[in-house]
Structure 1
Amino acid sequence: MDEVVRVRGVEIRPGYLDQAAQEALVGEVRAVVAAAPLFSPMTPYGKPMRVRMTSAGRYGWFSDRSGYRYLDLHPSGVPWPEIPPVALSVWEEIVGKERVPDCCLVNFYDGEARMGMHQDRDEAAFGWPVVSISLGDDALFRIGNLERGGRTESVWLRSGDVAVLGGTARLLHHGIDRVRAGSSQLLPKGGRLNLTLRVVD
């Protein structure tokens, strides 16, 4: 779809992936998870994150008591698998082929999972956008400011939607307030998958 909704500079493309593409991407994510299983990172503050995650690409995002960073290998020691082709095609269609993303972070939200307000700033440069793909249950996406705090705006992301944080929106604080359990039948056991593609180096 060609529709673009802009919220504070974040570009949201509703229904960008049709049902067939969503199903194909879910199958590709299953292969990623089989090779590099989901895990629950520890925050630097000593609390486990509510979402479970894994990654694909050259690097994978990780967090523990030492802080937030990218790793060359899955915590188990195995290499990260290749970025799912459907996700990569979304990046190429929206961003172009000049630069391939280094990481595709895969977050799984069950009905109780949340993601607090944060910035994606563990990369070396911010000239490339973060491209986010939603699959499964609806999620309430909150968009804030460059500085923590202040007024925010929220929008529901649905299965197949793509959000792009680039330009002046690249470092906006954002998070997921809640997931509307049972709002999608894409994942047989429910829940939400969020894939974020980013350039790391």
Structure 2
Amino acid sequence: MSGELFPRSRSEVGPGAVLVPDWLDVERQRELVAACREWARPPAGMRTVRTPGGGVMTARQVCLGWHWLPYRYSATVDDGDGAPVKPFPPELGELAREAVAAAYGEPAAAEYDVALINFYDGDARMGMHQDKEERSTAPVVSLSLGDTCVFRFGNPDSRSRPYTDLELRSGDLFVFGGPSRLAYHGVPRVLPGTAPDRLDLTGRLNLTLRVTGLDHP
């Protein structure tokens, strides 16, 4: 955000959890938004996620590399059109390696192989949860595009306090691994109308890049 009295700086939110503000410049954000629009098209396009208990996630999702559904991975969109999941683009793997290096000062040791892309409109949110379907303990890379959100980052033991609420804005990078790899986290609120004008995006996109540790069939 321009015109701030004190520019935002890199910060450690928890052990192994690092926020790098404004990591993506606007042109790179625009490229990712355009790519997300293509990835969201069917087959294996963006869909509404339903939990086994009958709940419905308010954020919609499309996956690349592996298809995530509560609470496992599949090579096909088992809770959608049944199509094979779209491949994980090499450029996202390179982006993940750059992101880990920016957060930790050294490149990722593992090859990233899955992207979960969530779209939030102004009313969407995400409850506190862990990213624990992966066999790998490699850090999770989270990239924000569009509207600012309130991101709640907690602890590995429970959904309750202690947790930290912070703003994730368009272009921000958040990486969590090590002792914070299984920390509960969620999005209690999106701030509509806060996306940069040049993105031509209404709502928020979040790209979550992970290492599954799984072998493709």
Q: Deviations over 1:74-101 (max 9, x none)?
A: 2312222233455333212133364321
**1:26 equivalent in alignment to 2:33:** yes
- Structure 2 match to 1:7: 13
**1:165 equivalent in alignment to 2:176:** yes
Q: Distance in 2 between matches of 1:186 and 1:193?
A: 15
Q: Distance in 1 between matches of 2:186 and 2:41?
A: 27
**2:99 and 2:173 in contact (8 A); partners too:** no
**1:70 equivalent in alignment to 2:73:** yes
Query: What displacement does 1:129 show?
Result: 0.5
Q: Closer, same or farther in 2 for the Cα pair 1:135/1:84, shift >3 Å?
A: farther
SS at match of 1:49: strand
Q: Distance in 2 between matches of 1:181 and 1:125?
A: 35
- Structure 2 match to 1:134: 144
**1:195 equivalent in alignment to 2:207:** yes
- Report the AA paired with residue 106 of structure 1: I
Q: Closer, same or farther in 2 for the Cα pair 1:187/1:38, shift >3 Å?
A: farther
Q: Distance in 1 between matches of 2:89 and 2:123?
A: 26
Among 77, 84, 91, the alignment partner of 2:96 is 91
Q: Distance in 1 between matches of 2:184 and 2:13?
A: 13
The size of the alignment, in residue pairs, is 194
**1:25 and 1:87 in contact (8 A); partners too:** no
Among 42, 46, 51, the alignment partner of 1:43 is 51
Q: Distance in 2 between matches of 1:150 and 1:17?
A: 31
Among 173, 176, 187, the alignment partner of 2:187 is 176
- Please list, as runs of the form range in 1=range in 2, the aligned pairs for 1:144-155 lying within 5 A after superposition: 144-148=154-158, 149-155=160-166
Task: Percent identity, please.
Answer: 40
Q: Closer, same or farther in 2 for the Cα pair 1:98/1:168, shift >3 Å?
A: closer
Q: Distance in 1 between matches of 2:47 and 2:133?
A: 19
Q: Distance in 2 between matches of 1:150 and 1:83?
A: 35
Q: Distance in 2 between matches of 1:189 and 1:164?
A: 24
Q: Deviations over 1:32-63 (max 9, x none)?
A: 11243211111122111111001011x11112
- Report the AA paired with residue 196 of structure 1: T
**2:112 and 2:211 in contact (8 A); partners too:** yes
Query: What displacement does 1:145 show?
Result: 1.0
Q: Which runs of 5+ in 2 are unaligned?
A: 1-8, 101-106
Normalising by structure 2, we get a TM-score of 0.83
- Structure 1 match to 2:23: 16
SS at match of 2:41: helix
- Report the AA paired with residue 69 of structure 1: R
Q: Distance in 2 between matches of 1:131 and 1:54?
A: 16
- Structure 1 match to 2:86: 81
Query: Which stretch shows the higher mean deviation, 175-184 or 23-32?
Result: 23-32
Q: Distance in 2 between matches of 1:28 and 1:121?
A: 27
